[in-house]
């Protein structure tokens, strides 16, 4: 009989959790998309010979990788209003912080991928008359991208789980939705178990349908 009670609780909770899941997915996609763009340019800046580019990139990476994401959320959501003189939107603040945080980690992923390419590749491209930027764009980056897909997939999964921290600023993601359901039902075990199952399903889907398929497609492209 207990299993039927749990199923009843889950049936009532799932619609509310799915609303929160929508926000979770939106934040994850935004963070990974903009984080990838930020990360690529920051990685190139860190690898640059120009100090005006390299040092700011290093400071940015060390700040967002060295401080807790929770502190970053508090800093931007509660600290920015003091400078701006008005409150900031919860969703925009969360998306902004998550994108910057994700960008710092992805920058190191791209940097490692670029540096893993043999130096002879760049020298061969330059000997063919390419500029440094052309060689990077047409020779180095395509090869590096193939090598960074697994860690990028892991970062996608990590960011999906890290979005649960936005509940501390009152944003109704899936974790926050679970908290609200528990406040009304007092069924913490059942609700948190359901939330965990949904997160696991999402991570498996990302791993299988994004990372693994992308790797197989690129391998097939290499053989053709």
Q: What is the pLDDT of residue 220?
A: 59
Higher-pLDDT residue of 82 and 209 is 82
Q: What is the pLDDT of residue 133?
A: 81
For 2-223, CATH number? Answer: 1.10.3720.10
Q: What is the pLDDT of residue 1?
A: 47
Q: What is the pLDDT of residue 222?
A: 57
- Average pLDDT rounded to a whole number, residues 63-75: 95
Q: Is the dihedral angle over the CA atoms 156, 158, 160, 165 positive or is it negative?
A: negative
What are the structure tokens assigned to 136, written together? 């990077």
Q: What is the pLDDT of residue 136?
A: 85
This prediction has a pTM of 0.88
Among 112, 84, 79, smallest CA distance to 97 is for 79
pLDDT class for 161, splitting at 50, 70, 90?
very high
User: Is pLDDT above 80 for 221?
Assistant: no
Q: What is the pLDDT of residue 223?
A: 55
User: Is pLDDT above 60 for 14?
Assistant: yes
User: Is pLDDT above 50 for 155?
Assistant: yes
For the chain, what are the domain ranges?
2-223
């Amino acid at each position: 009989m207990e299993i039927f009670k749990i199923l009843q609780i889950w049936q009532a909770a799932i619609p509310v959790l799915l609303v929160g899941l929508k926000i979770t997915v939106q934040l994850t996609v935004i963070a990974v998309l903009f984080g990838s763009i930020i990360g690529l340019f920051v990685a190139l800046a860190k690898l640059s010979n120009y100090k005006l580019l390299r040092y700011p990139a290093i400071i940015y990476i060390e700040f967002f990788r060295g401080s807790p994401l929770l502190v970053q959320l508090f800093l931007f959501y509660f600290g920015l209003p003091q400078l701006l003189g008005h409150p900031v939107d919860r969703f925009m603040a969360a998306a902004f912080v998550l994108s910057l945080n994700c960008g710092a980690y992805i920058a190191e992923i791209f940097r490692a991928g670029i540096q893993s390419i043999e130096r002879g590749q760049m020298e061969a491209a330059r000997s063919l008359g390419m500029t440094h930027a052309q060689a990077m764009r047409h020779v180095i980056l395509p090869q590096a991208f193939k090598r960074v897909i697994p860690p990028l997939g892991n970062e996608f999964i990590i960011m999906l789980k890290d979005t649960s921290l936005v509940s501390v600023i009152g944003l109704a993601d899936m974790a926050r939705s679970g908290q609200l359901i528990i406040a009304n039902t007092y069924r913490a075990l059942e609700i948190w178990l359901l939330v965990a199952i949904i997160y696991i399903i999402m991570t498996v889907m990302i791993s299988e349908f994004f990372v693994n398929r992308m790797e197989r497609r690129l391998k097939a492209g290499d053989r053709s």
